[in-house]
Chains A and B, each alone.
Chain A
Amino acid sequence: MSGRHTGEMHSHTVEGTDPQLFVEVHDPQNDAGLRPVLLLHGFSSSSKLNWHDTGWVAALLEAGRRVITVDLPGHGRSGAPEDMDSYSPSRIRADLLQIAFDAGVRPLHDGDPTSGVDVVGYSLGARLAWEFGATQPEIVHRLVLGGPNIADPLAAFDLIAAQNYLADGTPIADESTAGLLKMAMLLPSNNIFALLSLVDAIKAEPFDPAEAVPHMPMLLVAGDQDERAATMPQLAALGIRAGSMAEQLTLPGRNHTNAITSRAFKQGAIAFLGV
């Protein structure tokens, strides 16, 4: 593919079921001749909110990168399947692998800068990127992890309290749960029950970054006001102990919500992935 255009990919079944994930591939006008970049958005967000509206897709295309975006299940334009399995992180990783191959990603090959794929994830997307990098070293070249956390805040989410609140307005005692639910409900278009299915599935498979550590170079980025990413240095230390080159970038004055548009973040990521 060449020239500037955006194509919607048609999905097919993975492990016998259609993941119903909305995938787009964006081609740059002037291709830098590098591997594509896969973008993974955060909880209660979408490719549009996390990557398009924030200027990421435009910045990567401007840098000559081919961009693959995917909406997570129950998010954006993806379907909201009934079955819990569709939301499990391991199932999502399997879907991402299929999406990467469907988009033309080929295994890394020494000396071929078009081989493999770079992955940028934000928040929950950073968790998925970490695991994807750790489990798919044959195709993942480099990782950029935004707003990362050593423990998934969604794993501590109080589902019962959230369901009670949704049923009859019973106040939620846990501050993190209340905050996450408020964020999820801010966007009227969110399918709140699909998002709760995702939380449920994440609780069944909580993030254990030490279990599988990516070995490829990684850049970890967070705002210095981002409480959800206060454990970023521990994540970096894990990566370094495992032999990864782990760089950290801190964005002054930014928090978990507004770090994403930061120019320094985008430029840092583009430079880090531009090799």
Chain B
Amino acid sequence: MSRQSQLVEASWVRGRKTDGGPHCTNCEAAGRAGSNEYWSTAVAEISFPLPDLGEGLIEATVLEWLVSPGDQVERNQPLVEMETSKSAVELPSPQAGKVVRIFGGAGDRINVGEPLIVFEVPDNTAGIVGTVPKDEAPTRPGPPERRT
């Protein structure tokens, strides 16, 4: 796995609950610790920021959203096309769930780390972001880019 893809995944799993509870800063550990009793509402919202796109990029421009609020998306489903100063990329969903909000329309710039999308998920899965069973982690595929 490339340094870039690790960075992307690392940022993706920084999903946060936005329902007023404490931020899920270590979601995997929280899930293992059995956070279900902690999060007692039926659904929860999880916000994902624009992930680190590597190559020292700090922002990206929205080309086109491929999902809309209200859509039910699967993990790894393409969410949005973004353009950086170096290339265009398609971001796969880090999460299965219902899209609640998306940030930025075509042509809008978003900084790395700023909110990109908010999902609504059944509450009992909110605590285990990054370890959803069966599905593979979102792929920012490709082994290391070793240009010689």
Contacts and interface: CB of A to CB of B under 8 A. Distances in A.
B86 interface: yes
Interface in B65-100: 66, 76, 78, 81, 83, 85-90, 92
Contacts of B92: 55, 58
Given A52-B141, A54-B90, A76 B63 contact: no
A77 B81 contact: no
Dominant secondary structure of chain B at its interface with chain A: loop
Nearest to B143: A77
A79 B148 contact: yes
B145 A258 contact: no
Given A55-B81, A58-B76, A263-B81, 12 more contacts: A52-B142, A55-B78, A55-B92, A58-B141, A186-B86, A189-B147, A190-B147, A253-B106, A261-B81, A261-B89, A262-B64, A263-B78
A48 B145 contact: yes
A54 B145 contact: no
Interface of A: 45-49, 52-55, 57-59, 75-77, 79-80, 186-191, 253, 257-258, 260-263
Contact of A191 (B55, B64, B88, B148): B148
B83 A189 contact: no
Interface in B105-148: 106, 139-148
Given A57-B141, A58-B139, A261 B90 contact: yes
Contacts of A49: 87
B89 A53 contact: yes
Nearest to B8: A53
Nearest to B63: A258
Contacts of B87: 45, 49, 53-54, 257
A41 B144 CA distance: 17
A28 B148 CA distance: 30
Contacts of A257: 83, 87-88
B88 A261 contact: yes
Nearest to B66: A263
Q: Give the interface centre of A45, A75, A77, A253 by most chain B CB atoms within 10 Å.
A: A77
A263 B140 CA distance: 18
Contacts of B63: 258, 261
Chain A to chain B: the 9 pairs with minimum beta-carbon distance, closest first: A55-B90, A48-B142, A189-B147, A261-B81, A261-B88, A258-B88, A52-B141, A53-B89, A258-B83
